[in-house]
């Protein structure tokens, strides 16, 4: 009696992966070029004197990580996707390219993990700022630039250490393949039909191997992906709840005055309400950043966890074919923050105009006056 082991079919994505791969190279380079320019603009605006407050320092650290990822992805995509026929040549599988593939995998993963952690810190900072304004110790932490910079620097230092299992599991593998006189690889199944001269050649590839494969999968799927997503989900729900509570409190305040909502309020009350409106606008913008991050990262976290639990069959059938799609989603998430800032932050738009507006226009179209307010040590510039 012969025992036949049935192969479980989880996904059938080979055709999709092959079709999307044809456009991924050009699309990813386009997104990276746009995202690189956008993140450079973010850094230029967020580091101006009037924008130097803790939340913007975190956004700057996030922009730097995203910028580095995109700059590195451009040569990777150019070599891997723009000339697909080159992958049939033995000259493609050089030792130098295999080493670069390992560098690419580690570099992008470390910086992406840094982005995840900075996004979590951003959510924590904002949650403390709007829910514990009277707690002096907590408020000092989130309003102090020095503590914020220390948190950012520690994130850039600790995240690479958390990715050490990934480094240990990636290795350059040496293989022997049959090729023709032009160094083009020959399919072993078609060798008997080949009439030219064949010879053996050496190829180098970057692959996961060794004793740390399982550990690296757990680190990637749980520590790098799932844990930040769970934390961001909880913090996003808390922030939304805090926004609704603030809106309810404001409505009760307006009702308690006994005046119609559109009637002019006393100067002190009007100023207080304007500060609350500014806080709400900033919180909504940061919520948009968090939710966009979750939309792109949560599917990757789930797929990574399933890959660990189910095994190699799921990786080969589902995770690997979706790799290019997950890459483009992550790149779009890194590139689109500039659009969010411009569309949702009046302060960012004003600072952007001051930095990049031609000086000649300032004589004819002066910018509106700006006032600076200090709230618990956190300096914020408000557009009048």
Higher pLDDT residue, 368 or 84?
A: 84
Q: Which of 34-38, 128-132, 240-244, 255-259 has the lowest mean pLDDT?
A: 255-259
pLDDT of residue 1: 45
CA distances from 333 to 70, 308, 326 (A): 11, 25, 11
Which pTM value belongs to this model?
A: 0.81
Dihedral of alpha carbons 361, 363, 369, 370, sign = positive
pLDDT, average across residues 89-107: 88
Which span out of 8-17, 62-71, 229-238 was modeled with the highest average pLDDT? 62-71
Q: Which of 1-5, 246-250, 335-339 has the lowest mean pLDDT?
A: 1-5
Average predicted confidence (pLDDT) for the chain: 79
pLDDT of residue 371: 46
- From the list 233, 215, 232, 229, the residue with the least C-alpha distance to 302 is 229
CB–CB of 156/114 below 8 Å?
Answer: yes
All structural domains of the chain, each given as residue ranges with its CATH number in brackets, are: 13-363 (1.20.1070.10)
**Given this model, what pLDDT does residue 299 score?**
86
**DSSP state letters, 138-166:** HHHHHH-HHHHHHHHHHHHHHHHHHTHHH
pLDDT of residue 353: 82
Contact 170, 105 (CB under 8 A): yes
Q: pLDDT exceeding 90 applies to what percent of the chain?
A: 21
Highest mean pLDDT among 139-148, 154-163, 197-206: 154-163
Whether 81 contacts 25, CB under 8 Å: yes
Residue 329 has pLDDT above 60, yes or no: yes
> For residue 280, what pLDDT band results from cuts at 50, 70 and 90?
low
The half-sphere exposure of 68 on its side-chain side, counting CA atoms within 13 A, is 17
Residues in the chain: 384
What's residue 380's pLDDT? 45
* Average pLDDT of the segment spanning 234-253: 78
Distance CA(100)–CA(120), nearest Å, equals: 30
| Mean pLDDT of the region 182-198 | 71
Helices (H), 257-319: 267-310, 312-314
Distance in angstroms (rounded) separating the CA atoms of residues 154 and 148: 10
Q: Is 103 helix (H, G, I), strand (E, B) or coil?
A: helix
pLDDT on residue 361: 54
In the structure, what pLDDT confidence band is assigned to residue 4 with cuts at 50, 70 and 90? very low
């Amino acid at each position: 009696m012969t025992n036949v082991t049935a192969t479980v079919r989880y996904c059938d994505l080979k055709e999709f992966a092959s079709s999307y791969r044809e456009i991924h190279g050009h699309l990813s380079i386009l997104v990276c070029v746009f995202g690189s320019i956008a993140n450079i603009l973010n850094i230029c605006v967020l580091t101006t004197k009037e924008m130097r407050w803790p939340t913007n320092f975190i956004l700057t650290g996030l922009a730097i990580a995203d910028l580095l990822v995109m700059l590195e992805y451009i040569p990777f995509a150019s070599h891997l996707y723009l000339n697909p026929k080159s992958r049939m040549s033995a000259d493609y599988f050089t030792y130098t390219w295999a080493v670069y593939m390992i560098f690419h995998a580690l570099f992008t993963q470390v910086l992406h993990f840094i982005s995840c952690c900075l996004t979590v810190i951003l959510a924590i900072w904002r949650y403390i700022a709007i829910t514990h304004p009277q707690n002096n110790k907590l408020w000092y932490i989130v309003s102090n630039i020095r503590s914020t910079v220390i948190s950012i620097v520690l994130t850039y230092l600790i995240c690479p250490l958390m990715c050490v299992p990934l480094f240990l599991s990636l290795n350059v593998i040496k293989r022997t393949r049959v090729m023709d006189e032009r160094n083009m690889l020959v399919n072993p199944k078609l060798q008997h039909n080949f009439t030219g001269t064949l010879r053996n050649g050496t190829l180098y590839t970057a692959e996961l191997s060794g004793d740390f494969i399982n550990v690296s999968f757990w680190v990637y799927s749980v520590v790098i992906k799932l844990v930040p997503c769970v934390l961001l989900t909880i913090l996003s729900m808390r922030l939304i709840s805090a926004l609704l509570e603030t809106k309810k409190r404001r409505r009760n305040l307006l009702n308690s005055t006994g005046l119609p909502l559109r009637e002019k309020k006393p100067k002190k009350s009007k100023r207080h309400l304007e500060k609350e409106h500014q806080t709400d606008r900033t919180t909504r913008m940061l919520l948009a950043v968090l939710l966009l991050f979750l939309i792109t990262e949560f599917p990757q976290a789930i797929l990574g966890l399933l890959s660990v639990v189910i095994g190699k069959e799921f990786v080969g059938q589902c995770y690997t074919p979706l790799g290019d799609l997950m890459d483009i989603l992550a790149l779009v998430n890194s590139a689109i923050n500039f659009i969010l800032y411009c569309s949702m932050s009046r302060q960012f738009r004003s600072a952007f105009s001051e930095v990049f507006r031609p000086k000649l226009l300032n004589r004819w179209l002066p910018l509106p006056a700006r006032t600076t307010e200090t709230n618990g040590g956190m300096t914020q510039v408000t557009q009048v």
